[in-house]
Chain A
Amino acid sequence: MTCREFKHSAASLTLWELSRAQAQDEQILSHAEQCEGCGGWLQNQRSVAASLHTLQAQTAAMEAGPRVERTLLRAFRQTAAENAPQPVVARVSAPTAFRLSHFFEIGAYVAVAAAIIVSVFLGVRLLQHSSRTVPVQSRVTPASTRPLMQKPAVAAQGDSSKVASGVTHERVTSAVRSRSQRSDSAGVAAATVQTVAADEAQTDADADYVALMFCDPLSCSSDSQVVRMELPANGVEQNSQPPVAELVVGYDGVVRAVRIVN
């Protein structure tokens, strides 16, 4: 064993192992006997180990005094009490929490009551509004499907001058506008437009009208007009009267319903 190997081997041992190294490491001991420097170093290490052993033995029984334990136990109890739930604090804070919950409970009831009142009010208003704005299918029909006793002088095909407004209907109260138009291509000779009062009760001809579109109260709330028109007489005998149809036309120009008069 060289001195380097001796130092390397000795460094791997603790001080106590080195001081007790007698039989367990013969190589270290034999080298220490042969080498004066390494032997001196080993002796010094043993001396240090012996000194530290003395110090260790002297202080082995030393402990902290009972005062430290009492202080720590007091601190431990205090910490445990702080971490534990405190009923006193709960009693103090309970009325506040109760008052707050009671306040929020009353507020919730008030909010629900207000919501109900508003809902009822809005529902009533909506019903009133919908009663004023009856859909065309049910509202216009009485006004427009009343039997127009008018027998318009329908111009014959190709004759645009024979437009007459032979209105004989006794219930036409508003101004009657008659306008005849001639449509060469379609063969529609003339049309009579009349505005009919909405308050006229006509129920007998309601069933004759056929609704052509769906009307909701918002889009069909305005008055409508009944337009009577003669249909082309193609295929019909010349002597007989041409078929007449009545169209319920809204102010937006869209036909709401139609019926064949004769």
Chain B
Amino acid sequence: MALLTDLTDEQLLTQALAGDEDAFTVLYRRRQGPIYRFALHMSGSSHVAEEVTQEVFLFLVQRGRDFDAERGALAAYLFGVARNYVRRALERNYPEQVLGSPVEDEAASLMVECDPTEGIARQQTSTAIWKAVLSLPEHYREVVVLCDLHELSYADAAQSLGCAIGTIRSRLHRAHDMLSKKLQHSAAVAPGISKVAARCAS
């Protein structure tokens, strides 16, 4: 197992497809977090995120031989597969969970409160950011999640979404403007958001 952790994603996939369960386990533990968070950021539902994560790696087990390493990294490939499963899940079962209920439970459980008032403000900020991101149109939300939250390069994001780098850049620019307006609107409604955001920025 210690040697497996030194292997690249592509090498692990090759061994996993040959029947090596340890290689698959290492690959899963390395990549399930980003995939889960991508689905969570895209859907706002931990249930959808778990389902998508499971579907993505099931797809990898069954159709992993379709992956072509010459066309890009495995991580970007997995994000592309996850994106399709998120779309499918949102269209099928969970449209009501996306817009209305971001994951307060997970987010709140991770917060370390040093000040009760700050905790409330942070809660409001978190909820506002979630709502702002989730209210973006899907193709803008994708680039924000991939490039800003997962810090993918524009090239990797373009590979995952199947579009040009220039498209990624323009969508991101537009998405930032939309997010800014939404956050300003939320700050006007709940002034604590801007303060927390300002502190976080500093």
Chain A residues with CB under 8 Å of chain B are 11, 14-16, 19, 44-56, 58-65, 67-69, 71-73, 75-77, 79-80, 83-84
Contacts and interface: CB of A to CB of B under 8 A. Distances in A.
Given A59-B106, A80-B19, A68 B133 contact: no
B28 interface: yes
Interface stretch (B71-79, B92-100, B124-132): B124-132
Contact of A47 (B28, B110, B169, B183): B183
A51 B175 CA distance: 14
B159 interface: no
A72 to B, nearest CB: 5
Contact of B58 (A11, A67, A75): A75
Nearest to A40: B180
B85 interface: no
Interface residues of B, number: 56
Given A15-B148, A77-B21, A50 B200 contact: yes
Interface string B14-33: 00100101001100110011
A12 to B, nearest CB: 8
A47 B46 CA distance: 26
Nearest to B20: A80
Top 6 nearest A-B pairs (CB, nearest first) are A50-B201, A44-B180, A64-B53, A50-B200, A64-B36, A51-B129
Contacts of B128: 51
Contact of A63 (B19, B36, B57, B201): B36
A58 B112 CA distance: 10
B197 A61 contact: no
19 contacts: A11-B169, A47-B198, A52-B144, A53-B200, A54-B196, A62-B33, A62-B36, A62-B37, A62-B106, A62-B110, A64-B54, A65-B50, A69-B25, A73-B24, A73-B25, A75-B61, A76-B61, A79-B62, A80-B21
Contacts of B28: 69, 72
Contact of B32 (A61, A68, A84): A68
A69 B27 CA distance: 11
